[in-house]
């Protein structure tokens, strides 16, 4: 058997049953692919079900508020995906009458759709022979062919896409793409794959050379930056303050507690000497109720050192206009980062 026949035979025997498989609805495929970007199937699956239930069609998604979309996305991370998803839904409805583009090139023009997702939609929905290259495909092909080009470079990406596009079955492009990703995910795993059970072991260059654990090659990752967040849980009667993040930074468009960010860890005394603290509270006498232990929230490239400070202020106190005052019991209707959600649910609920 040749490569494709071997792969498709393996897939037929070993494929998982997943809700977006066998769908040829471009909206459902697009939704699943965006949710699954840099996300494990098990983590993304419940989000896929919820999105499809709340937004059965692209028209439903297009007419929703961005805040509603972000709330449904809460906890999944990489929130630009949700904003781009919503933006693209509106484009598809307004410019294309709700019909998705059906070529790789036109799909690539949409926000949130890169080379992988364009290939996925064009092959799964329209059976066009565009090869998907995700992390699973990088790993499998780098080992099978013994390729040491770093996969996280432009050169590497082009090289592997070129190879995948020469391999892809023109008769079964959708099944081929599903199969090669499934194979990388289930059989050609990152750690200690069971090469004795592999249908490609006889031809695998990395196995022959005993370098399975060295492939794929990746360039070094950038350093982790430390940041120091002092979050203010400000109570004013039955209300509390929130703030919406708008900068091009982590958690853009999500809500959070009012924040003082400093460039180092400081004591409560020093915090109250900071310019931002004075700007917020110079005209009022606030009462500091309590202060949490430092919580270290780890992201891919940042470590957030967070402290939550509980304050009580008077009805007459005035604060910046970008503060949003909400009834305390409504906090769960706002999309917030996990760090904030954990505080609101666990710490706050204990009172």
Partner DNA sequence: GATTCGTGGGA
Partner DNA sequence: TTCCCAAGAAT
269 is catalytic: no
- Nearer Cβ to DNA, position 80 or 165? 80
| Cβ atoms 283, 204 nearer than 8 A | no
Which helix (DSSP H) or strand (DSSP E) does residue 348 occupy? Answer: helix 348-349
CB hemisphere CA count around 88 (13 angstroms):
23
Strand partners of residue 228: 262, 305
Length of the chain measured in residues: 351
What's the rounded Cα separation, in Å, for the pair 170 and 8? 13
Give the angle subtended at the CA of 243 by the CAs of 241 and 248, to the nearest 5°. Answer: 165
Q: Which residues bind DNA (CB under 7 A)?
A: 18, 20-21, 32-33, 36-43, 75-80, 84, 110-118, 120, 134-136, 139, 152-154, 178, 181-182, 184-185, 190-191, 218-219, 221-223, 225, 249-252, 297-302, 337-339
Cβ at position 292, least distance to DNA in Å? 16
Cβ at position 47, least distance to DNA in Å? 10
- Nearer Cβ to DNA, position 44 or 129? 44
What's the rounded Cα separation, in Å, for the pair 58 and 14? 32
What's the rounded Cα separation, in Å, for the pair 308 and 351? 15
- Nearer Cβ to DNA, position 18 or 312? 18
- Nearer Cβ to DNA, position 162 or 290? 162
Q: How far is CA 200 from CA 7, 9, 211, in A?
A: 9, 12, 15
Taking residue 350's Cβ as centre, other Cβ atoms within 10 Å add up to 6
Cβ at position 325, least distance to DNA in Å? 23
Cβ at position 133, least distance to DNA in Å? 8
Catalytic option among 28, 33, 159, 182: 33
323: left (phi > 0), else alpha (psi -120 to 50), else beta?
beta
Cβ at position 56, least distance to DNA in Å? 20
- Nearer Cβ to DNA, position 301 or 327? 301
State the catalytic residues. Answer: 33
């Amino acid at each position: 058997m040749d490569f494709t026949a071997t792969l498709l035979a393996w897939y037929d025997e070993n494929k998982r049953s997943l809700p977006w498989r066998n769908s040829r609805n471009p909206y459902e495929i697009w939704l699943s692919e965006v949710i699954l970007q840099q996300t494990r199937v098990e983590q993304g699956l419940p989000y896929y079900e919820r999105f499809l239930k709340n937004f059965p069609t692209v028209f439903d998604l297009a007419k929703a508020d961005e805040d509603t979309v972000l709330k449904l996305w809460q906890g999944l991370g990489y929130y630009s995906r949700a904003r781009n998803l919503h933006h693209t839904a509106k484009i598809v409805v307004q410019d294309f009458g709700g019909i998705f583009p059906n070529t790789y090139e036109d799909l690539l023009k949409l926000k949130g759709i890169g080379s992988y997702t364009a290939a996925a939609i064009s092959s799964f929905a329209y059976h066009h022979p565009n090869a998907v290259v995700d992390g699973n495909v990088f790993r499998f092909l780098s080992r099978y062919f013994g390729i040491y080009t770093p996969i996280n470079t432009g050169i590497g990406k082009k090289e592997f896409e070129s190879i995948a596009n020469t391999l892809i079955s023109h008769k079964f492009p959708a099944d081929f793409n599903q199969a090669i990703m499934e194979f990388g995910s289930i059989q050609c795993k990152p750690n200690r794959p069971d090469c004795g059970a592999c249908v490609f072991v006889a031809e695998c260059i990395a196995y022959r050379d005993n370098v399975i654990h060295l492939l794929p090659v990746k360039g070094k990752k950038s350093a982790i930056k430390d940041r120091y967040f002092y979050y203010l849980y400000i109570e004013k009667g039955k209300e509390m303050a929130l703030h919406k993040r708008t900068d091009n930074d982590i958690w853009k468009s999500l809500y959070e507690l009012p924040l003082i960010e400093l460039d180092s860890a400081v004591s409560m005394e020093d915090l109250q000497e900071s310019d931002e603290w004075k700007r917020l509270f110079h005209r009022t006498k606030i009462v500091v109720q309590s202060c949490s232990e430092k919580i270290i929230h780890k992201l891919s490239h940042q470590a957030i050192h967070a402290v939550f400070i509980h304050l009580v202020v008077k009805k007459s106190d005035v604060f910046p206009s970008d503060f949003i005052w909400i009834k305390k019991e409504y906090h769960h209707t706002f999309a917030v980062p996990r760090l904030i959600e954990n505080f609101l649910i666990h710490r706050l609920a204990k009172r």
